[in-house]
């Protein structure tokens, strides 16, 4: 009888262990990184669009400093949003070059961070000419990375 109890205890311990192990796996798989990066890209697209409309309307560029800072912060996080193993699923448009040419991908992220940093400086200074130049560089940084690392839209 005692033996049987011990066996049951062992079995239930293993079951708990298994459940904990399972939970750990579920956590590692947890964040929907492809969904997160697509949402981030959609947001940055919206932020850039807002900027463009403001500028076309001849608005003051000073209130756009928060937009610029947000773009720079997102740019810094782009490489982390493309971890190993996130090359498939959810119709991702990520190209394999992101992982085979990691240095180039990181450089492309930095190019956006630098351009957005210049945007923020121009915004804070209220310098429309500097803004126009940095805005062009920002657009080029988006396009440059997409050209090399994103599946072309048909």
Distance, CA of 20 to CA of 76 (rounded, Å): 34
Closer to ligand HEC by CB, 7 or 66: give it: 66
* Stretch in the footprint of ligand HEC (CB under 6 A) among 2-10, 16-24, 39-47, 128-136: 39-47
Closest CA to 52 of 29, 38, 71, 33: 71
Q: Which two tokens stand for residue 100?
A: 């085979």
Closest CA to 125 of 136, 112, 134: 134
Identified binder of ligand HEC from the candidate list 76, 124, 128, 146, rule CB under 6 A: 146
Closest CA to 76 of 114, 45, 50, 128: 114
Number of residues forming the site for ligand HEC (CB under 6 A): 24
Provide, rounded to whole angstroms, the least separation between the CB of residue 93 and ligand HEC: 4
Closer to ligand HEC by CB, 8 or 53: give it: 53
Instruction: List binders of ligand HEC among 45-104 (CB under 6 A).
Output: 45, 48, 71, 78, 92-94
- Cα dist from 41 to 15, 46, 102, whole Å: 42, 9, 19
Distance, CA of 77 to CA of 86 (rounded, Å): 15
| 118 scored as a contact of ligand HEC (CB under 6 A) | no
Residues that bind ligand HEC (CB under 6 A): 34, 37-38, 41-42, 44-45, 48, 71, 78, 92-94, 105, 108-109, 112, 138, 141-142, 145-146, 149-150
């Amino acid at each position: 009888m005692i033996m049987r109890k011990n066996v049951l205890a062992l079995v239930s311990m293993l079951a708990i262990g298994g459940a904990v192990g399972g939970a750990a796996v579920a956590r590692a798989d947890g964040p929907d990184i492809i969904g997160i990066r697509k949402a981030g890209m959609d947001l940055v697209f919206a932020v850039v669009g807002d900027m463009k409309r403001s500028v076309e309307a001849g608005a003051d560029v000073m209130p756009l400093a928060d937009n610029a800072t947000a773009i720079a912060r997102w740019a810094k996080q782009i490489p982390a949003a493309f971890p190993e193993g996130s090359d498939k699923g959810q119709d991702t448009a990520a190209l394999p070059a992101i992982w085979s040419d990691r240095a180039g991908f990181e450089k492309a992220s930095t190019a956006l961070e630098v351009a957005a940093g210049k945007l923020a400086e121009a915004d804070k200074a209220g310098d429309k000419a500097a803004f126009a130049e940095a805005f062009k560089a920002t657009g080029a940084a988006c396009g440059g990375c997409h050209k090399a690392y994103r599946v072309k839209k048909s």
